[in-house]
């Protein structure tokens, strides 16, 4: 479709979205400002180069799709609660997270920054100082309310912190050309492989080994490709990191992070065991957010150990894997929600 036609359609869809009661307030503001920028371009035909209009239309279409996904009640609120905390640890506490429902195992990041584009390319538009960093993440709808299966979102958040904000991987390339993607050097493959290693390590800081356990479940036998290292290699890097062993890939990133004055990669989660509570069909009560992160790995182990060992912790008359999956995810989701409610209550009642 022609860019200006698309921009008109996107603006109309965004105005409709902005009537949604499901948005948080700053997403309403974000949407209003995007619509205003689109309207500015539409009101000024011939002012902006065709390449600018075409790219802006493409950016606007993506933004609209991700905002649309964030109005429904399918958004994985409990996991997003954790992701927002993770962002604050990387100096991105003001960022918003919007989600787009996908199919299959399609967890992904959309590395677009609409405000950066508008500021630099739509020169005559006055944003009145508004700027909001937005992480646009794809979540399979099948797993939206299955927090144990949403651990890949931490990997995607790692891509956002890297590609979307700080360009840690590309800085590591500038500082050090040592090969990660052996054998044979291909600059593009080297870059892509490092991206995946960084995102894996980022996720492991928060959700421990469950980050690569999810990868093993989805792509356990995957060999190295142009875009991704082999699963075996990715698991080895993460396991070395979690065990506190030196690893050249980890060192590459730590050097880049130091150069960019960013936090180092370090374990955030606290190891917990959900088994006693989950066996009693009770929610787990984390003492702090670090234990919330620790729940993901423990709940993952709980779920798949129960399935693999044919456990029947709730003495169901007929034991089914589906019941184990459903109850484990429900208990995990409610445990996080209870924690979030307690934190909100404490914050509201401990004022000055």
Partner 1 sequence: MLAATTLDGDQNPTPFVVALRILSNNRSLPEKLSAYLTDVFTQALQVLADPESITPQTLPEAIKLAVDLRESASLRDALASAGTDTISAKVAQEILTSERRFAAPR
Kindly list the residues in this chain that would bind partner 1 in the complex (CB under 8 A). Answer: 48-49, 51-52, 54-56, 58-59, 105-109, 111-113, 116-117, 120-121, 123, 152, 155-156, 159, 163, 166-167, 170-171, 173-175, 177, 187-188, 191-192, 195, 214-215, 218-219, 222, 225-228, 259-262
When the beta carbons of 191 and 314 are compared against partner 1, the nearer one is 191
When the beta carbons of 33 and 165 are compared against partner 1, the nearer one is 165
The Cβ of residue 36 has, within 10 Å, a number of other Cβ atoms equal to: 16
CB of 56 to partner 1, least distance (A): 8
When the beta carbons of 178 and 288 are compared against partner 1, the nearer one is 178
When the beta carbons of 42 and 123 are compared against partner 1, the nearer one is 123
The Cβ of residue 12 has, within 10 Å, a number of other Cβ atoms equal to: 13
When the beta carbons of 61 and 337 are compared against partner 1, the nearer one is 61
CB of 343 to partner 1, least distance (A): 29
CB of 277 to partner 1, least distance (A): 29
When the beta carbons of 61 and 334 are compared against partner 1, the nearer one is 61
CB of 71 to partner 1, least distance (A): 23
CB of 64 to partner 1, least distance (A): 15
CB of 174 to partner 1, least distance (A): 5
């Amino acid at each position: 479709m022609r860019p200006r036609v698309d921009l008109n359609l996107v603006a109309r869809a965004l105005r409709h979205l902005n009537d949604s009661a499901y948005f948080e307030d700053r997403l309403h503001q974000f949407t209003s400002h995007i619509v205003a920028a689109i309207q500015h371009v539409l009101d000024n035909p011939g002012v902006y180069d065709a390449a600018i209009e075409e790219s802006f239309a493409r950016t606007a279409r993506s933004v609209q799709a991700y905002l649309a996904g964030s109005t429904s009640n399918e958004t994985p609120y409990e996991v997003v609660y954790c992701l927002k905390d993770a962002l604050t640890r990387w100096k991105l506490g003001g960022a918003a997270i919007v989600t787009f429902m996908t199919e299959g195992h399609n967890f992904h990041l959309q590395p677009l920054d609409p405000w950066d584009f508008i500021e630099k390319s739509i020169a005559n538009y006055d944003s009145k100082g508004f700027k909001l960093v937005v992480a646009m993440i794809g979540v399979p709808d099948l797993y939206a309310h299955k927090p144990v299966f949403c651990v890949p979102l931490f990997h995607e958040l790692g891509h956002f912190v890297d590609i979307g904000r700080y360009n840690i991987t590309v800085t590591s390339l500038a500082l050090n050309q040592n090969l990660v993607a052996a054998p044979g050097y291909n600059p593009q493959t080297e870059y892509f492989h490092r991206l995946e290693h960084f995102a894996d390590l980022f996720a492991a800081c928060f959700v421990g080994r469950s980050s690569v356990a999810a990868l093993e479940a989805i792509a356990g036998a995957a060999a190295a490709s142009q875009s991704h290292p082999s699963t075996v290699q990715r698991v080895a890097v993460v396991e070395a990191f979690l065990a506190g062993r030196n690893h050249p890939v980890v060192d590459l990133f730590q050097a880049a992070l130091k150069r960019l004055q960013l936090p180092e990669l370090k374990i955030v989660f606290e190891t917990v065991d959900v088994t006693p509570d989950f066996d009693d069909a009770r929610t787990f009560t984390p003492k702090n957010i670090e234990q919330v992160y620790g729940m993901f790995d423990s709940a993952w182990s709980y779920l798949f150990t129960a399935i693999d060992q044919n456990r029947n912790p709730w003495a169901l008359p007929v034991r089914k894997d589906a019941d184990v999956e459903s109850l484990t995810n429900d208990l995990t989701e409610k445990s996080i929600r209870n924690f979030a409610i307690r934190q909100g209550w404490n914050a509201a009642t401990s004022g000055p």
